[in-house]
Structure 1
Amino acid sequence: MPSSDSPEHSQSTRLAEIDKIPCRLVHPIPLGFVHFCAVQAIHEILIERDVDPKFIFQKAGISTQFWENFDVVPLTVLGRLTALAADHTRCSHFGLLVGQRATLASLGVIGALMRNSETVGDALRALVRHHGILNRGAVVEMLSGDHIVAVSYVPYEPDAEGAALHCERALAALTKVLWSLCGSDWTPEAVLLPRLQPPDTTPYTGFFRAPVQFEQETATLLLPSWLLTRSIEGAEPRVRTVVERRIRQIEDEYPPDLIDEIRRRMRTAGIRMWTNAKQVARQMEINRRTLSRRLKAEGTSFRLVASQLRLGIAKQLLADTNMSLALISAALEFSEPAAFTHAFRRWTGTTPSAWRKERRPDHATPGPSAAWGGSGVADR
């Protein structure tokens, strides 16, 4: 029988821990949903700040005891809940606080896979590949350069509320996870956030210990490239093999939803072709006509899916940043701002400027709700 300090005992203990992961963190989730862990963190923070969670949760449309009965929460509801909590606690960095509560354990099987990856780079690539198990409303992507690695959290659910809050929460959570994997003796090169600059930025620079740039197109951590080669102490190859097999079983049993897969691919860095159905079909390894036929069977079309996605991104950038219409137009790959304005009017019946003004009457000097989360849902 292996001794308590032997490698065999360590592996057996780690494997037993994998078996104890709650079912809610093992099974995949429906389109537009995320796991419950962030909601638990919100509940805890509200109590710590002497704000009645029951009132906030009811206003957001969910029960304070929902995680005892449900495994997931819609991304839209999580955004609404976070924005309400930010307004009622009058905390401009509420999303940051939620993200700081993240642990490897809160990532379930993905956290177990990252913990037992050989290097930090392997762990990040595992997160990129399998993030859909945890979140069916955003994609994580990684781009490597000579000296800098960009890791981005990109929401793609078009109706998601509080996207800016989701983004800062996700980057804080990723930073905490990376520190737990390899120590905190390093810092990001920079942090980019797609939200209005809050009145006080010190909570952000204090946590990340790095320059934080607001009003950005995407939420991105810029990491030193050498970090990818850092070994993860105590990683167990045998445990990694078991976890990988578990994840493959999950993904084989629950393949991605067609529309979800299209949105994910259009939001990745390699696919910036918002109207190129042929290229997306090629990436999905199916025929263009087959893609159209399958979408038609679901009552939609590639053009409609692409338009809904672009509209969601446009609304988020209009509401959560002061980016000019020219910059937003370029981010959405319109030929010119006039083309963006025409498309936005077709989608909504109004212009981008009018929509922004209605959403944020004084967007040049945002009020508390705009500056504290960007969704403005607390004012509804």
Structure 2
Amino acid sequence: MIPMIRAASLRGFVPLVEGLGGDADGLLARFGLTRQGLESDEDLIPITANDLVLDSAADELGCPDFGLRLAEAQDLSILGPLAVVIESSSTVAEALAVASTYMFVHSPALSVAVEADPRRGRGVVALTYRKDVHESPYSPQAIELGLGLFYRVSVMLVGSRAGLRSIEIPHRPLSPVSRYTGFFGADVAFGRPTAALRVERRLLDEQFATADEAIRRLAVEYLAGHYPDPARKLSTQVRRALAGSLGTAPPAIAGVARLLSVHPRTLQRKLAAEGASFASILDEVRRDAAHRHLTTSDLPLGQVAALVGFTEQSTLSHAVRRWYGSSPRELRRTARRTTPSK
């Protein structure tokens, strides 16, 4: 299954593009999206399409801070029911814990966490924001949007910037550094391993004025009852195991079963109970990986075939035609016509 994200992630995209003189409908259409499809926050869209349309808009409109501008137009409410739990939490630590647990409601490809400070500062921790690049390619604009919103929500809940040490961004600056420091009100470091807000550890104990234990308890019960964690499904575990080993080890059911500590026949039986099969999951993982490599890289087709676990380039060609109705080269050419070069 292609990783998705709630349509709320692009809230404000259309007016921002049109305000910059761009064709929002045309941009969305290139990636299989529509204005109408963004009207309901709860609808799901492919996260790769979400991210590519952000990168394309920034490139074509000559607006390198597009992600930061969109972050300025959004707020905590884009997280839907998860926002209620976060806002009613008693402390920063409690809010981050629930956000970490239920971020899959917004998108299973995204995660937030509290981690050790990468610079080993005394009394400092890193509030990290990650996207699983096994699921979808890295997007500079999407990372800046997510990190910018993460920062704005944090300031809104805590009430000030006090305690923020610096911002960590994995890619090079897209805009003048002054744009970043003006947005975040702190030093910004680029080329870092993980997107993060470095903050004083004491901030984790900050109390929220919006705390309400009764509302929080009801909201958590609602999330638990209506949004089962996909990570607990065996089919998700199999998918992640295959995505992580594809191209490095033969995609055999025996190997995955051994990794998950179950017998192959038990694995097949439990997958069938979830309406899936090892073969169908492997086909989906190969399809998504092939599409990612073909549309976001210039790797030779033989290498792409190897990366998705095929021994022959011809096998890749047959599979891509079955999946997308075109040859690998045609799929790549189409992507190059619709995606700006970096």
Give the TM-score normalised by structure 1: 0.64
Shift of 1:379: 3.5
Shift of 1:165: 2.2
| Corresponding position of 1:378 | 340
1:116-265 superposed matches below 5 A: 116-144=88-116, 147-156=123-132, 158=134, 160-161=136-137, 163-186=139-162, 188-252=164-228, 256-258=232-234, 260-261=236-237
Amino acid at match of 1:248: A
**Aligned-partner SS, 1:106:** helix
| Corresponding position of 1:73 | 45
- Aligned mate of 1:47, from 8, 12, 18: 18
User: Identity rate of aligned residues, in percent?
Assistant: 18
Indicate if the aligned counterparts of 2:128 and 2:194 stay in contact, CA closer than 8 A.
yes
Distance 2:258 2:85 in 1: 32
**Aligned-partner SS, 2:174:** coil
Indicate if the aligned counterparts of 2:96 and 2:113 stay in contact, CA closer than 8 A.
no
Deviations for 1:72-121, whole angstroms, at most 9, x for unmatched residues?
21101101210111012211121222223331222111111111111011
**Aligned-partner SS, 2:155:** helix
Amino acid at match of 2:48: T
- Aligned mate of 2:58, from 66, 86, 90: 86
Indicate if the aligned counterparts of 1:266 and 1:280 stay in contact, CA closer than 8 A.
no
Distance 1:287 1:104 in 2: 41
Amino acid at match of 2:200: P
Gaps of 5+ in 2: 250-254, 311-337
Distance 1:121 1:61 in 2: 38
| Corresponding position of 2:279 | 299
Decide whether aligned partners of structure 1 residues 223 and 259 sit closer, same or farther in structure 2, where only a CA change above 3 A counts: farther
Distance 1:196 1:234 in 2: 37
- Aligned mate of 2:30, from 59, 78, 98: 59
Residue range with higher mean Cα deviation, 175-184 or 146-155: 146-155
Distance 2:83 2:224 in 1: 15
Shift of 1:48: 2.2
RMSD: 4.0
Distance 1:203 1:288 in 2: 55
**Aligned-partner SS, 1:142:** strand
Distance 1:280 1:113 in 2: 35
Decide whether aligned partners of structure 1 residues 104 and 213 sit closer, same or farther in structure 2, where only a CA change above 3 A counts: same
Decide whether aligned partners of structure 1 residues 277 and 212 sit closer, same or farther in structure 2, where only a CA change above 3 A counts: farther
Distance 1:101 1:266 in 2: 38
Distance 1:280 1:229 in 2: 39
Distance 2:341 2:45 in 1: 22
Residue range with higher mean Cα deviation, 76-85 or 246-255: 246-255
Indicate if the aligned counterparts of 1:46 and 1:53 stay in contact, CA closer than 8 A.
yes
Indicate if the aligned counterparts of 2:239 and 2:281 stay in contact, CA closer than 8 A.
no
Distance 1:344 1:260 in 2: 23
| Corresponding position of 1:355 | none
Shift of 1:164: 2.5
Decide whether aligned partners of structure 1 residues 81 and 46 sit closer, same or farther in structure 2, where only a CA change above 3 A counts: same
- Equivalent residue pairs, number: 291
**Aligned-partner SS, 2:48:** helix
**Aligned-partner SS, 1:378:** coil
Distance 2:26 2:57 in 1: 10
Distance 2:141 2:281 in 1: 30
| Corresponding position of 2:307 | 347
Indicate if the aligned counterparts of 2:68 and 2:144 stay in contact, CA closer than 8 A.
yes
| Corresponding position of 1:9 | none
Residue range with higher mean Cα deviation, 40-49 or 255-264: 255-264
Deviations for 1:131-176, whole angstroms, at most 9, x for unmatched residues?
0011122222322466122222222253524522222211111111
Distance 1:196 1:257 in 2: 37
Indicate if the aligned counterparts of 1:82 and 1:95 stay in contact, CA closer than 8 A.
yes
**Aligned-partner SS, 2:227:** helix
| Corresponding position of 2:315 | none
Distance 2:36 2:85 in 1: 29
Amino acid at match of 1:126: V
**Aligned-partner SS, 2:13:** helix
| Corresponding position of 2:74 | 102
Indicate if the aligned counterparts of 1:35 and 1:72 stay in contact, CA closer than 8 A.
yes
